[in-house]
Structure 1
Amino acid sequence: MHPTSSPAGRLAAVGNQMIEIHLWLSAELARLRASLDPASPGEVRPSRDLRAHCLTFCAALGRHHTGEDAGAFRLLADQVPELRPVIANLITDHEVVAGILERVEDLLGDVTATPAAQLRGELDGLAALLESHFRYEEKRLVNALNALTGQPGTAEELLGLTAPRPAD
């Protein structure tokens, strides 16, 4: 795990930190999808744990994308103008992801019963989109983000969050 910033409060390896955030978000989404495996087929009654896990995941992913849009993407658009088309594509993806997250939250808001197939379909679609989105973003932006090393600030300011440290 990379530190969120150097001791002098300067950015360090922000692109690598973005990859760590993506890995953590992907793992959390996999855990969330696995928690949908029902005891009986058909419908699943969202438990408090499932709802809480989903809402926590959705909030973290939303913070990450909002942070990138307002932080890293703005900075990169100013400093590396040739990345603007890439950034525009990524922002479009963020909007699509936000729509999926909203549908998932709506499905989990139904306290009577949530169609398991519909919820799984939304999460499977989200997983496929995020896999593609994360790889594209990493391929196109990691080097540019890592070049920001030494500037004032933190990765959280540019990326919306930091990857949680593994439990000891």
Structure 2
Amino acid sequence: MEHNEPYGRVRAFGNQLIEVHIWLREELEQLREDVDAYLDGHGGLPRKLQAHCLTFCSAVHRHHTGEDGGAFLVLADQFPELRPVLEELKRDHNMVSWLLGNLQKLLSDLGPESDPASIRAELDGLSSLLETHFTYEERQLVSALNAVSRPDWDVSKPDFLLVPELD
């Protein structure tokens, strides 16, 4: 659909959400691979892992903060039936934030004495929660986001749709 067709740009918001989730999934997978390589004695420096983790964690935080403080308010207003879903997703955001904090702490202390099992367990937990969260969010919100009318989002992407490498 072209952007000059009625609702052409608006319908892209749900699709853009999926694109952001794909990017975040890819970044998490790359972080997991880098951590595994390091823990197996084949990877780079802990400092590089910490920087990658910080970039990833910041991107997830900005995405979720943008949803909670912007997109979810718009959706709750335009689609009141989604309010219970949005509250559930906000609870997920709090759990993700807590797990990201744990991961950052583990990676900031990364060294030869680090426990590989605890680091991998933290990454596994975060990966599982994010995958479930993203899948649920996409199933529940993409159609509504595609129907939202927000001219200000046409002019400037909201925070929850920004991807550092692309924007």
TM-score, with length taken from structure 1: 0.82
Q: Alignment identity in percent?
A: 48
C-alpha displacement of 1:38: 3.8
Asked if 1:28 is matched to 2:45, the reply is: no
**Contact 1:46/1:114 (<8 A) preserved:** no
- Tell which deviates more after alignment, 44-53 or 54-63: 44-53
Distance 2:108 2:18 in 1: 31
Letter in 2 for 1:16: N
User: 2:107 is matched by which residue type in structure 1?
Assistant: L
Give the C-alpha shift of residue 68 in structure 1. Answer: 0.6
Q: Structure 1 residues 76, 12: closer, same or farther in 2, change over 3 A? A: same
- State how far apart, in whole Å, the 1-side matches of 2:159 and 2:49 are: 29
Matches within 5 A, 1:91-130: 91-110=90-109, 112=111, 113-130=113-130
Cα distance in 1 between the residues matched to 2:30 and 2:82:
33
- The structural deviation recorded for 1:159 is 1.5
CA displacement 1:103-162 (0-9 Å, x = unmatched): 011112225443221111111111111111111000000000011146322573252523
The match for 1:142 is: 142
Q: Which residue of 1 aligns with 2:6?
A: none
Q: Provide Cα deviations, 1:18-49, integer angstroms capped at 9, x if missing partner.
A: 0000000001000000111246659x996211
Instruction: Indicate if the aligned counterparts of 1:35 and 1:50 stay in contact, CA closer than 8 A.
Output: yes
**Separation of aligned partners in 1, 2:114 and 2:29:** 19
Contact 2:28-2:127 at 8 Å conserved across structures: yes
Q: More displaced, 19-28 or 140-149?
A: 140-149
* Aligned ranges 1:9-158 → 2 under 5 Å: 11-38=10-37, 41=40, 47-110=46-109, 112=111, 113-149=113-149, 151-154=151-154, 156-157=157-158
TM-score (norm 2): 0.83
Contact 2:89 2:137 in 1 (8 A): yes
Judge which range, 115-124 or 130-139, deviates more: 115-124
Distance 2:44 2:152 in 1: 47
Q: Which structure: greater helix fraction? A: 2
Point out 4+ residue stretches in structure 1 off by more than 6 angstroms: none
Aligned alpha-carbon RMSD (Å) = 2.7
**2:35 partner amino acid:** L
Amino acid at match of 2:77: D
Structure 2 distance, partners of 1:109, 1:163, is: 22
Structure 1: gaps spanning 5 or more residues: 4-9
Unpaired stretches in structure 2, ≥5 consecutive residues: 4-8
